[in-house]
């Protein structure tokens, strides 16, 4: 019998410039580059054990043995990584999120980032951050941005080899906070994998993609200069462009709930009073309210008591995916 094990920890991320639509669905090569911030406080912890006596692959998520599409997706990723060592030994994956399951917070980014690092380590492979990011991308596109630290950019690249994320700034470069207003706790109805496949059916997607180089540049500069007003303007524009594409795809995807829109409008009105605050939404109704951490008290109080907000989760800029 031979056994080997490794444990990795990864944070999810919130996209400031969003990824939506693949030019190669199998390789998850995106239509446009994207920028995000890792979310500390939230984490996925994944232990991978390879053992020559295991008769099959097993995947436990938050204490529950997985089957069906969730297991298949993990096995597909394991096969990719096992292929790098040319082995077929089965594995037991034991993964836990410290954030509430079904709180509408995407766990695929942190999940595939942690799974990639734990698996390559258990396989005894020495892999650069760039290659880790490329490999994590194959499991879930946004996972590649959770590999490096802090504020990260995923360059769309021209092929599998150069489509990866790198760090634009370390976590302590800018003390931003993301107060996630949980509006719905259920799983989203259309997964992002299905959503990416619909992006090209929207007549607005081509314009969103064509303008992405400009938005990326503005966002990168805003982070480098720690210019909150510039960041606020570009992340809200980008989020609205993403949702405009979703709402105009066939079939149309509506992720916003009435409370999401009410909070979006409230954030705008708070900003008009001089408060540095902005919001962005991924493929779900929960509103990520972004601000400088020095304003935490003032802003989280307003969100906590906002009608339709069931819960809030406060996060700061997070670190890279690492081994335990």
> Which residues of the chain form contacts with ligand PMV (CB under 6 A)?
15, 18-20, 34, 106, 108-109, 140-142, 192-193, 196, 282-283
Report residue 232 as tokens: 């606020």
Evaluate the CA torsion angle 260, 241, 35, 9 in order and state its sign: positive
How many whole angstroms separate alpha carbon 282 and alpha carbon 284? Answer: 6
How many whole angstroms separate alpha carbon 218 and alpha carbon 230? Answer: 7
For residue 219, which of 151, 147, 287, 299 has the smallest C-alpha distance? 151
Q: Name which of 111 and 171 has its Cβ closer to ligand PMV.
A: 111
The stretches of 52-149 forming alpha helices (DSSP H) are 68-85, 108-122, 129-139
Q: What is the closest distance, in whole angstroms, from the C-beta atom of residue 268 to ligand PMV in the complex? A: 21
Q: Name which of 87 and 252 has its Cβ closer to ligand PMV.
A: 252
Q: What is the closest distance, in whole angstroms, from the C-beta atom of residue 76 to ligand PMV in the complex? A: 14
Q: What is the closest distance, in whole angstroms, from the C-beta atom of residue 68 to ligand PMV in the complex? A: 18
Contact by Cβ (8 Å): 290, 177: yes
Count how many residues are written for the chain: 324
Q: How far apart are the first and last CA of the chain?
A: 24
Q: How far is CA 72 from CA 44, 76, 129, in A?
A: 19, 6, 26
Q: What is the closest distance, in whole angstroms, from the C-beta atom of residue 44 to ligand PMV in the complex? A: 13
Contact by Cβ (8 Å): 151, 34: no
Q: Name which of 22 and 119 has its Cβ closer to ligand PMV.
A: 22
10 Ramachandran zone, left/alpha/beta (phi>0; psi -120 to 50): beta
Report residue 308 as tokens: 């339709």
Report residue 286 as tokens: 């929960």
Contact by Cβ (8 Å): 236, 279: yes
Q: What is the closest distance, in whole angstroms, from the C-beta atom of residue 144 to ligand PMV in the complex? A: 9
Q: What is the closest distance, in whole angstroms, from the C-beta atom of residue 32 to ligand PMV in the complex? A: 9
Q: What is the closest distance, in whole angstroms, from the C-beta atom of residue 185 to ligand PMV in the complex? A: 18
Q: Name which of 38 and 89 has its Cβ closer to ligand PMV.
A: 38
Report residue 223 as tokens: 């982070």
């Amino acid at each position: 019998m031979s056994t080997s094990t490794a444990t990795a920890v990864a944070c999810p991320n919130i996209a400031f410039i969003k990824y939506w639509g693949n030019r190669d669905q199998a390789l998850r090569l995106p239509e446009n580059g994207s920028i995000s911030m890792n979310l500390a406080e939230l984490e996925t912890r994944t232990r991978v054990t390879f053992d020559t006596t295991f008769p099959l692959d097993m995947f436990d998520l938050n204490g529950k043995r997985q089957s069906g599409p969730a297991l298949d997706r993990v096995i597909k990723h394991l096969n990719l990584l096992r292929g790098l060592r040319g082995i077929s030994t089965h594995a037991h994956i034991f993964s836990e999120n410290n954030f509430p399951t079904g709180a509408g917070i995407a766990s695929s980014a942190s999940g595939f980032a942690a799974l990639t690092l734990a698996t390559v380590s258990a396989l005894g492979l020495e892999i650069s951050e760039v290659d880790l990011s490329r490999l994590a991308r194959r499991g879930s596109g946004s996972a590649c941005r959770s590999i490096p630290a802090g504020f990260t950019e995923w360059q769309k690249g021209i092929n599998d080899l150069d489509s990866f994320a790198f760090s634009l700034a370390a976590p302590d470069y800018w003390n931003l906070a993301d107060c996630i207003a949980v509006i719905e706790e259920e799983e989203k109805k259309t997964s992002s994998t299905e959503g990416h496949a619909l992006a090209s059916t929207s007549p607005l997607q081509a314009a969103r993609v064509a303008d992405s180089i400009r938005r990326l540049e503005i966002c990168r500069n805003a982070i480098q200069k720690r210019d909150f007003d510039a960041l606020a303007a570009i992340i809200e524009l980008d989020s609205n462009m993403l949702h405009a594409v979703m709402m105009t795809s066939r079939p149309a995807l509506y992720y916003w709930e009435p409370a999401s829109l009410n909070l979006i409008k409230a954030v705008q009105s708070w900003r008009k009073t001089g408060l540095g605050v902005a919001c962005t939404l991924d493929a779900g109704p929960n509103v990520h309210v972004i601000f400088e951490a020095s304003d935490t008290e003032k802003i989280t109080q307003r969100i906590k008591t906002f009608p339709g907000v069931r819960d809030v989760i406060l996060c700061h800029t997070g670190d890279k995916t690492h081994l335990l």
